Amino acid sequence: MSAYGLRIATGPAITWRSIECWGAGFCLFLQTGALFPLLLSDPDGGLSESAKGLLRLVSLPVYAFTILILIRNFPLFLTALKRNLLLPLMLILPFMSFAWSVSPSMTLRRAVGLLFTVLLAYVLAMRFTPRQLLLLVFVTFGTCIALSVAMFAVAPGLARMPMDGEMRGIFISKNSLGWYSSILVLAATAVLIDGTFGLRRAAGILLAAGGLCLVTSGSMTATIATASAYCLIGFYSALQKSRGIGRIVLILAFVQLSAGLLIALHEFLVPFLEALGKDATLTGRVPLWELVDQQIAQNLLFGFGYQAFWTDSSPGAWAIWSEIQWMAPHAHNGFRDTMLSFGIVGMIPFVLLLLRALRQGAVLQCRDPQYGWLWLNVFTVMVLVMNLTESIFLVQNDAIFILFTTAIIMFSLHVPAVSTEPGSQWPRPAGMTGTDSLIS
């Protein structure tokens, strides 16, 4: 029997690599929130406490898989921790915030969930190359979108939102369908650009399906993120081809353009929407953000504890809910929710973590483009764009945040391998040979 395989009775051997690949895909599917929440939801789309309890059990196989793979790759896991100390610090903060949380029990429970979420990201970063991860995302999210289209064809009533009738597929929310459709559009486009997988026909079909679900979901956040993804593909492709002073000019121009766009949106978006007769509040987000900023100012240094603000025991949340007349589940802005959880104490290392990841990702794209870093760089910035109007940062048991964290870990894990500094060469992790095949 092979040292890398398991033999069941007298049947064929099952390799550990097969377990890693199928297990990772299954875990990602479970963490998308697809199918199971929809089946357990009420007719109005809500989830009862008993349904939420059952959904927590869905994460147990994910935790078991994560622990198993980490034990088998513990030395590499320690190396990954050392390569990026800011990420372990961000894992410690939720547990530390228990001391000042307005809902200590909720903070502690969700901190444990976040811990396992990030540990799964370490597993993906250690055991997959960027191309292998792309294929994993392409297959997993492609399955979600294909099932959503099938659900719409077979049971259109179930595949639509109860209130406005917009498409939600196999997800409980149209926004979730929009987010995963957006990421699938990126993944399918990356597969077409790469051209080495032999999946052009499948990529074309899933690209069309993803685009269809994106449009029918009506998610503006996902639409903006998709548009930004195509702009970023052009930027990172140009960045890799540029040299010397040209590269510096390109980076400065991109940063200035991005900053100018954000300033313009802040100043002119609301008047522009009012002139068009559209919802100038961005579906209630603008007044919500004003009230959230007031709460952030009250606990500016430490915040209210990890994910404790939007709970029944939070006076600040009730003050906001009574003012806006709807129970917002979060701030609809990942940066604001991070401030609500940790204040400046947590926001500073988090911003440094993001800036470091962006720099490392760009270095890898420029020095090692054949390894498949383009899509991962684009995805990372794409998630930053999503967090301008949604809250995805530091969310437990969430596939998008898992992949976002995987990208950050992967960047820090591989940068030493392409470093030009003398004596800094570091071999790629075992099993990460850069091959396109997932199961080998």
Digit-by-digit pLDDT tens for the chain (440 residues) are 344 455 545 556 678 899 999 999 999 999 999 999 988 888 777 788 888 888 889 999 999 999 999 999 999 999 999 999 999 999 999 999 999 999 999 999 999 999 999 999 999 999 999 999 999 999 999 999 999 999 999 999 889 988 778 899 999 999 999 999 999 999 999 999 998 889 999 999 999 999 999 999 988 899 999 999 999 999 999 999 888 898 889 888 888 888 887 777 666 666 655 555 555 456 778 899 999 999 999 999 999 999 999 999 999 999 999 999 889 999 999 999 999 999 999 999 999 999 999 999 999 999 988 889 999 999 999 999 999 999 999 999 999 999 999 999 999 999 987 765 444 444 455 444 445 555 44
| Angle, CA 142 vertex, CA 432 and CA 354 arms, to 5° | 55
Judging by DSSP bridges, how do beta strands 5-7 and 13-15 pair with one another?
Answer: antiparallel
Helix axes 49-72, 104-127, angle to 10 degrees: 40
Domain assignment present for residue 431? The answer is no
Domain assignment present for residue 424? The answer is no
Q: How many helices (H) and strands (E) does the chain have?
A: 16, 2
Reduced to 3 states, what is the DSSP secondary structure of residue 436? Answer: coil
At 422 the pLDDT is: 42
Identify the bridge partners of residue 7 per DSSP, sorted by sequence position: 13
CB atoms within 10 A of CB 290: 12
At 93 the pLDDT is: 96
| Angle, CA 363 vertex, CA 358 and CA 368 arms, to 5° | 130
Nearest residue to 120 (alpha-carbon basis) of 18, 5, 26, 16: 26
Domain assignment present for residue 37? The answer is yes
Domain assignment present for residue 195? The answer is yes
At 4 the pLDDT is: 46
Query: Against a cut of 0.75, is the pTM above it?
Result: yes
Sequence letter at residue 312? D
Q: Is the dihedral of CA 102, 104, 106, 107 positive or negative?
A: positive
Sequence letter at residue 390? E
Give the span between the Cα atoms of 30 and 50, in whole angstroms. 18
Q: Is the dihedral of CA 426, 427, 430, 434 positive or negative?
A: positive
At 326 the pLDDT is: 87
CA atoms within 13 A on the CB side of 330: 20
Q: Which domain holds residue 209?
A: 5-418
At 43 the pLDDT is: 78
At 10 the pLDDT is: 52
Domain assignment present for residue 292? The answer is yes
At 423 the pLDDT is: 41
At 90 the pLDDT is: 94
Domain assignment present for residue 253? The answer is yes
Burial per residue of 214-245, b for 16 or more beta-carbon CB atoms within 10 angstroms, e otherwise: bebbbbebbbbbbebbeebbebbeebbeeeee
Total domain count, the chain: 1
Give the span between the Cα atoms of 236 and 243, in whole angstroms. 13
Nearest residue to 152 (alpha-carbon basis) of 89, 215, 213: 213
| C-beta separation of 357 from 299 below 8 A | no
Nearest residue to 120 (alpha-carbon basis) of 206, 31, 45: 31
Give the span between the Cα atoms of 340 and 303, in whole angstroms. 5
Domain assignment present for residue 188? The answer is yes
Domain assignment present for residue 167? The answer is yes
Q: Is the dihedral of CA 35, 396, 82, 84 positive or negative?
A: positive
Give the span between the Cα atoms of 308 and 342, in whole angstroms. 10
